Amino acid sequence: MKIIQNFLLIFLFLFITNNLFAGLGNTTWGAGGIKRDIEVNEIEADEEENTDQSDTIESDDKFKSIELKNIDVNTVGTLTKDEGGLGYDMWSGSKRNIIKNYLENLPINRESNLAIELFKKLLLSNADVPESKDQKNDLILIRINKLIELGDFENAKSLIDLIVDNNNEEILMKQVQINLSLNNFDLVCSDIDQKRKNYKQNLFWRKVEIFCQILNGETNKANLSLTLLKEDNNFNDINFITIIDSLVYKEEINNQNFDNLDLLSLAMTRVANINLKESYILKDDPLFLSMIYRMPNVPIKLRIEAIEKSKKLLNLPIETIEEIYNSYDLEEKDKKIPLDDNILLGFETQAILFQMAITEDDQEKKAKIIKKSLELASINGNLVLISKLNLNSLLEIKPSKNFVWFASYAVRSLLISDKIEEAMKWYEVLKKEKDKNTQLFKDFIELWVIVEFYNLKNKELEYKNISQNALLKSINKFQLQKNSLEFDTLGFYILESFGVKINPELWLINIENQEIESKQLPNSSLISLLKYSSIDKKVGETILLILMSLNGKNFNQLHPFFLQIVISSLNQIGLQEKTFDLAIETLIER
């Protein structure tokens, strides 16, 4: 009986110790008795024993729900709200079919930096979207395509990289096209054999594979693949065969036959060192324009044309632009560009003027050259690009009343380049000379509004501008002299939207000016939808409606009443800081 009792005591002891050490690592028996092998994560768990148990349970439940929930690929993005995104709930209250319809039909805006910035924020924000019955990858694909159309290839690539188990052929093709445009051939060729096997019906993958085989020195494989490709009844790409032959056999070919090359063939001409003809017609596609401007086998005129055609889409380093514009071979006849005539010239004109401004020692002539360059840039929608390109030459000109005719151009160009202090020196020159004639006063009063906005945006600037009463005093002088005076009142309309009270006499002076009335108002239905969406705090939908109303134009091309609606809408959805950007961009680039 005693033996049985001892046996039961030993059993009970073992049972209790096992329960005491349950979950605390391995238990071993040794000469020193029971040993515990406690792991690092167990030590961390011991340190957290004093935390509230209810919080731990809630956290565990939340982790499980995230882990178990299927992530909709359409919700991924590179921007959180803290990083400048529009917030995870930016589509709250919006219907999926409306979002898709707006995104698909939205024209790409190349004219307004603010429009481009707002669209990128919308495309890159990670945000919940209304559920779809079939859970298609439709929205993510549209977003990637729109980023490519905007020329933002790096962010398009980043968005693609966020897609887990990406097996969407169209998205994979976009990824390859981006890497072709950026000359990332190692990424183009990554897993190409597997992609060709997965998507056998698409000749695109077979052509890319042949290109990659040649790059890797696998000529025999490339020849075999090319033979099989030629046997396919659907293959008829003569340009591809011609360029491949040049790559394999190092044969010179006639570039005059090349027109309308696709992206792959264009990339292959670079590798084969085939020069494109100067008359080659560029596609209006950022993927092509981005590739063209950096290709050494392309005539410099075409490379310059690619930069200027892209307008605000390609965000190029100024050093790159300077290098390309300096590569233009300036001839003596080029220097005879008429600086006073109001005529449009070719794409190479800006390169000619850029080089002329650099080499010109006479400050008056330098100012005339830059003025001509900025005038052409305003017409072509490249004012930001050309302002930054000519910045160093502009800074060499000392503000003087002798150059008061140039002051308005200098102020706008310097403000675009964020050289506020230097811009204000030119503004001061114009302020002192404003009463000399009506043209100078017109230049001054339109800049006066811009300076007021800079003061509103940046309270620390506190540039001492003249008052509205001082403006009226100057205006009265001109009226007494029977001088007709007209000026653009767009800035006054916008100032009113920011709570600045405008003296009614300023409106009366310009009451017969029809310039404002000739500006366009968007479709009335779009305006009504915009008002409703902003009141309901539909952030994403509001931005889409603003961009649709612009229809690819700059804000300064539309009626001031619409601009007031846009400013109000941006305020209602919490983007107050963007209203200043809208005002300043609209007034500087008009």
Question: DSSP readout, 149-175?
Answer: HTT-HHHHHHHHHT-TT---HHHHHHH
- Please give the pLDDT value at position 485: 80
Q: How many helices (H) and strands (E) does the chain have?
A: 31, 2
- Please give the pLDDT value at position 139: 92
Tell me if residue 12 falls in helix, strand or coil.
Answer: helix
- Please give the pLDDT value at position 528: 95
Among candidate residues 396, 324, 383, 379, the one with its CA nearest the CA of residue 355: 324
Strand partners, 160: none
Rounded to whole angstroms, the Cα distance separating 499 from 490 reads 15
pLDDT by position in tens, the chain (length 590)? 444 444 444 444 444 344 433 333 333 333 333 333 333 333 233 334 444 444 444 444 333 333 334 678 899 999 999 999 999 999 999 999 999 999 999 999 988 999 999 999 999 999 999 887 766 788 999 999 999 999 999 999 999 999 877 888 999 999 999 999 999 999 999 999 999 999 999 999 999 999 999 999 999 999 999 999 999 999 999 999 999 988 888 877 767 678 889 999 999 999 998 888 888 999 889 999 999 988 988 999 999 999 888 877 777 788 888 999 999 998 888 777 777 776 667 788 999 999 999 999 999 999 999 999 999 999 888 899 899 999 999 999 999 999 999 999 999 999 999 999 999 999 999 999 999 999 999 999 999 999 999 988 887 767 889 999 999 999 999 888 887 788 888 899 899 999 999 999 888 876 665 555 567 788 899 999 999 999 999 999 999 999 999 999 999 888 888 999 999 999 999 999 999 999 999 999 87
Question: DSSP readout, 79-94?
Answer: B-GGGT---TTTTTT-
- Please give the pLDDT value at position 482: 80
Long-range contacts of 334-338 (CB under 8 A, 24+ apart): 337/372
Question: DSSP readout, 405-440?
Answer: HHHHHHHHHHHHTT-HHHHHHHHHHHHHHTTS-HHH
Which residues, 6+ apart, have CB-to-CB distance to 533 below 8 Å? 541, 542, 545, 569
Calculate ∠ Cα 26-31-33, nearest 5°: 55
Element (H, E) at 203: helix 203-215
Among candidate residues 269, 325, 279, the one with its CA nearest the CA of residue 300: 325
Which residues, 6+ apart, have CB-to-CB distance to 159 below 8 Å? 76, 77, 78, 123, 124, 140, 143, 144, 147
Q: Where do the domains of the chain lie? A: 2-36, 167-316
- Please give the pLDDT value at position 356: 94
Rounded to whole angstroms, the Cα distance separating 251 from 247 reads 8
Q: How far is CA 477 from CA 469, 486, 488, 502, 505, in A?
A: 13, 14, 19, 20, 14
Rounded to whole angstroms, the Cα distance separating 169 from 138 reads 13
Rounded to whole angstroms, the Cα distance separating 427 from 399 reads 9
- Please give the pLDDT value at position 67: 38
Token pair 């009142």: residue? 489
